[in-house]
């Protein structure tokens, strides 16, 4: 009996030594509650858990808190930094405390969008048609960089008969869905890639003053020291990138299906696009 316990003890010791160093480590990822951020973050979580054996905590927070958390090292990273404009101010504040691993998606854009049946094409035409829009520009969460730029845009174009409505990504798309259903005029703060551009026929209003910025990228930002602490996690996040904006938009659209579970959809992607996932894993 003593030999048995001794053997079991030795086996446990060997297993403990052989166990990967990351087995008890938790990866913490912060994200803003945008549909694109949810899709990308959940994909990272699923790959790290399903393919690499880590435990991941994905924490939804406001944009300012997300950047602050990465800068302070309270979280390990994020995959939803819109640069150089939308999150540019946040990057300036913590840039020396974080590492930019580059884009996960290119050709990203923010702006104001309207349904294609709306007969104006420029922000310059809004003021003269304020009554048709009910004097409202439907926005998202107040801490978003897009909302800050939208406030500047209202001043630049003297949109005195409009009010920028605060809300969330979900309330914005709900308002858009209701308007499209009745073919009513509506203008919303928008960004792409986003599933709403696949769901409805929309167009961005021209922005001749350029107050809403130009083409952007969605980047991965990690805390300083992650490369040394979790080299495999760092390497994966460094390789993680969608093959195209359409691929990200596809997963976002899956997440809008009735009863959808973003984590199950991430697992679905892992199964249906193995070559993409192999690239992320460096295989």
223 and 256 together in one domain: yes
Q: Structural domain of residue 121, as residue ranges?
A: 109-204
101 and 123 together in one domain: no
Average pLDDT over residues 32-42: 94
Q: Give the count of domains, the chain.
A: 2
pLDDT bracket for residue 75 (50, 70, 90): very high
Between strands 216-223 and 26-31, the pairing is: unpaired
**Of 228, 231, 234, 224, residue with least CA distance to 94:** 224
Instruction: Take residue 43 and report the two structure tokens written for it.
Output: 């994909």
Last residue of a domain, one of 178, 204, 230: 204
Pair 145, 87: CB distance under 8 Å = yes
Strand (E) positions, 177-252? 188-192, 202-204, 216-223
89 and 123 together in one domain: no
Between strands 163-165 and 136-138, the pairing is: parallel
Peptide bond into 84 cis (omega under 30): yes
The per-residue pLDDT for range 133-172, each reduced to its tens digit, is 999 999 998 878 889 999 999 999 999 999 999 999 889 9
CA 149 to chain centre: 18
45 and 78 together in one domain: yes
How far apart, in whole angstroms, are the C-alpha atoms of residue 158 and residue 216? 26
**23 has pLDDT over 50:** no
| pLDDT confidence of residue 10 | 40
The per-residue pLDDT for range 178-201, each reduced to its tens digit, is 999 999 999 999 998 999 998 999
Q: Please state which of the ranges 1-15, 47-61, 236-250 shows the lowest mean pLDDT.
A: 1-15
User: Over the chain, what is the mean pLDDT?
Assistant: 91
Q: What is the pTM of this model?
A: 0.79
How far apart, in whole angstroms, are the C-alpha atoms of residue 176 and residue 185? 9
**253 has pLDDT over 60:** yes
Instruction: Take residue 241 and report the two structure tokens written for it.
Output: 């990138």
Q: State whether residue 184 is helix, strand or coil.
A: coil
Burial 62-93 (b: 16+ CB within 10 A, else e): ebbbbbbbbbebebbbbbbbbbebbbbebbee
The per-residue pLDDT for range 88-106, each reduced to its tens digit, is 999 999 999 999 999 999 9
Burial 234-264 (b: 16+ CB within 10 A, else e): bebbbebbbeebebbbbbbbbbeeeeeebbe
CATH of residue 92's domain is 3.40.190.10
Instruction: Take residue 137 and report the two structure tokens written for it.
Output: 């520009």
116 and 194 together in one domain: yes
For 205, which DSSP code?
P
């Amino acid at each position: 009996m003593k030999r048995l316990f001794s053997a079991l003890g030795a086996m446990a010791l060997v297993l403990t030594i052989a166990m990967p160093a990351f087995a008890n480590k938790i990866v913490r990822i912060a994200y803003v509650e945008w549909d694109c951020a949810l899709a990308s973050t959940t994909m990272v979580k699923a790959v790290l858990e399903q393919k690499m054996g880590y435990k991941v905590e994905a924490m939804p927070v406001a944009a300012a808190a997300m950047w602050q958390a990465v800068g302070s090292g309270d979280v390990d990273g994020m995959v939803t930094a819109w640069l150089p404009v939308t999150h540019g101010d946040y990057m300036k504040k913590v840039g020396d405390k974080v590492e930019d691993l580059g884009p996960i998606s290119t050709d990203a854009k923010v702006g104001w969008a309207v349904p294609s049946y709306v007969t104006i094409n420029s922000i310059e035409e809004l003021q003269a048609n304020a009554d048709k829009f009910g004097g409202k520009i439907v926005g998202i969460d107040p801490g978003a960089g897009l909302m800050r730029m939208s406030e500047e845009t209202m001043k630049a174009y003297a949109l005195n008969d409009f009010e920028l409505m605060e809300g969330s990504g979900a309330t914005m798309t709900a308002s858009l869905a209701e308007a499209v259903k009745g073919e009513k005029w509506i203008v919303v703060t928008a960004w792409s890639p986003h599933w709403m551009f696949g769901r409805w026929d929309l167009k961005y209003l021209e922005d001749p003053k350029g107050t809403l910025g130009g083409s952007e990228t969605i980047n991965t930002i990690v805390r300083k020291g992650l490369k040394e602490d979790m080299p495999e996690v760092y390497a994966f996040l460094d390789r993680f990138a969608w093959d195209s904006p359409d691929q990200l938009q596809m997963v976002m659209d899956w997440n809008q299906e009735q009863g959808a579970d973003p984590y199950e959809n991430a697992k679905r992607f892992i199964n249906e696009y193995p070559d993409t996932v192999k690239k992320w894993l460096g295989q």
